[in-house]
Copies of this chain bind each other. A is one copy, B any other.
Amino acid sequence: MKTGHTHLFIPGPTNVPDDVRRAMNVPMQDQRAPDFGALTLGLIADLRPVFGTTSADVLLYPGSGTGAWEAALTNTLSPGDKVLMARHGQFSVLWVDMAQRLGFDVEVMDRPWGEGTPVAAFAERLAADKDHHIKGVFVTHNETATGVTSDVAGVRAALDACGHPALLFVDGVSSIASLPFRMDDWGVDLAVTGSQKGLMCPAGLGILAVSEKAVEASKTARSYRCYFDMGDMRRMMADGYFPYTPPAQLLHGMRAALDRIKAEGLDQVFARHHRLAEGVRKGVAAWGLTLCAAEPALWSDTVSAIRVPESVDARDVIRIAYARYNTSLGSGLSQLAGKVFRIGHLGDLNEGMVLAALGVAELSLHEAGYPISFGSGVGAAQAHFAHAAGSARMAAE
């Protein structure tokens, strides 16, 4: 029988803070009541800074982040439209697959898993697209499967350099609210996230922020759509209501989560994610292991995919952690199965939790056959945290 706190270190759903859990435990209410809209409008107002926008429409779709992906596509593109996408991890693979199934003409650039969006190749391709056949360019901001953060600003610069009018779609599911995201600065037209990652709620809301340009595109886009139709949603949500019954308890949870983010301060949230991620990475290095991410510039502050040597099956590591130590680590997906395990370090986290994650990973690696020095990774992370704490003290003095 499992005892004690369940250590959850998958890259989503993330740990839901106690006050968010409390806030969700509400009786049902009338979603058409005169005072219901205020709840939604408050969320939208507070989500905008999280997306790095002052003006984009933020839409809350009952569903998952995958649903918000679909909403982004079908509302702004017409069947047969050409779009430019890269594949370099399981979630970019899935987004390509979705675009193909929804009838778009996807030009795919494949890259080894562990690399990011190929900015230079995108730039070259866009510059070559003199007739602007490409209607959309896609960036997976944070590839959850590989722990890789891509350069959205670089893609924007590539578009601007050749004056390309394509819409810029960004999957921010595992980045938004955890990593700096600058929708307005980067000229992102459609930014997608879900409730269950940096926003620290259960799954159940797909969130889509749309630029004015994307709204304009939706007026002529001819993809069939109804549930995810942006027009209905924007019309209702202007007053804080929904075209169909929303998962109200999630809205209350989101309220509490956004209150937390405001209380901590977005910059502090980002700094904390970086500090804790760096602790994990110091630990991985001390183990003598490497990340899946091809180079430090791509390291993700929300999830680390850790390669194990061939003599070890990463699935064993995950299985042992789960069965014996009540700890959930992320698995290697698709071509990475057995080759990596992942530590999600986003959302509501602190140093002690990271030390537990590393400590349990060490026990599990040991039992899976990797000759680890107990405490090595934990100690490396501690040294980083102690250093950070020292710097914080000095800054405060």
Residues of A in contact with B (beta carbons under 8 Å apart): 1-8, 10, 12-18, 21-34, 61-67, 69-70, 74, 79, 97-98, 101-103, 194, 196, 202-204, 223-229, 243-250, 260, 263-264, 268, 272, 319, 322, 324-328, 331, 348-353, 355-357, 359-360, 362-363, 366-367, 373-380, 382-383, 385-386, 389-390
* Pairwise interchain contact A355-B355, C-beta atoms closer than 8 A: yes
Known: A204-B204, A367-B390. 17 other contacts (CB 8 A): A1-B264, A5-B350, A8-B27, A16-B27, A22-B23, A63-B227, A66-B227, A79-B224, A194-B245, A202-B248, A202-B249, A324-B389, A355-B356, A355-B360, A362-B382, A374-B382, A379-B379
Bound together, the chains give a CA A264 to CA B1 distance in angstroms of 6
* Pairwise interchain contact B30-A349, C-beta atoms closer than 8 A: no
* Pairwise interchain contact B348-A352, C-beta atoms closer than 8 A: no
Taken together, the copies of this chain in the complex come to 4
A213 to chain B, nearest CB (A): 23
Across-interface contacts of A25 in B (CB, < 8 A): 21-22, 24-25
* Pairwise interchain contact A204-B353, C-beta atoms closer than 8 A: no
* Pairwise interchain contact B23-A18, C-beta atoms closer than 8 A: no
Q: In the complex, which residue of chain B has the Cβ closest to the Cβ of A103?
A: B224
Bound together, the chains give a CA A327 to CA B378 distance in angstroms of 17
* Pairwise interchain contact A62-B203, C-beta atoms closer than 8 A: yes
Bound together, the chains give a CA A263 to CA B350 distance in angstroms of 31
* Pairwise interchain contact B367-A374, C-beta atoms closer than 8 A: no
* Pairwise interchain contact B331-A359, C-beta atoms closer than 8 A: no
* Pairwise interchain contact A203-B247, C-beta atoms closer than 8 A: yes
Q: In the complex, which residue of chain B has the Cβ closest to the Cβ of A357?
A: B352
Across-interface contacts of A367 in B (CB, < 8 A): 386, 389-390
Given contacts A248-B13, A379-B379, contact A8 B29 (CB under 8 A): yes
Report which residue of A249, A328, A376 has the largest number of chain B beta carbons within 10 angstroms of its beta carbon. A249
* Pairwise interchain contact B18-A30, C-beta atoms closer than 8 A: no
- Among B27, B225, B328, B375, point to the contact of A379 (Cβ < 8 A): B375
Across-interface contacts of A250 in B (CB, < 8 A): 204, 247
Instruction: Across the A-B interface, give the 5 residue pairs with the lowest CB-CB distance, nearest first.
Output: A375-B379, A4-B350, A375-B375, A355-B359, A204-B247
Q: In the complex, which residue of chain B has the Cβ closest to the Cβ of A14?
A: B28
Across-interface contacts of A362 in B (CB, < 8 A): 382
A264 to chain B, nearest CB (A): 5
Across-interface contacts of A326 in B (CB, < 8 A): 350, 352
Q: In the complex, which residue of chain B has the Cβ closest to the Cβ of A324?
A: B389
* Pairwise interchain contact A224-B28, C-beta atoms closer than 8 A: no
* Pairwise interchain contact B4-A70, C-beta atoms closer than 8 A: no
A11 to chain B, nearest CB (A): 10
* Pairwise interchain contact B32-A331, C-beta atoms closer than 8 A: yes
Across-interface contacts of A74 in B (CB, < 8 A): 224
Across-interface contacts of A101 in B (CB, < 8 A): 224-226, 229
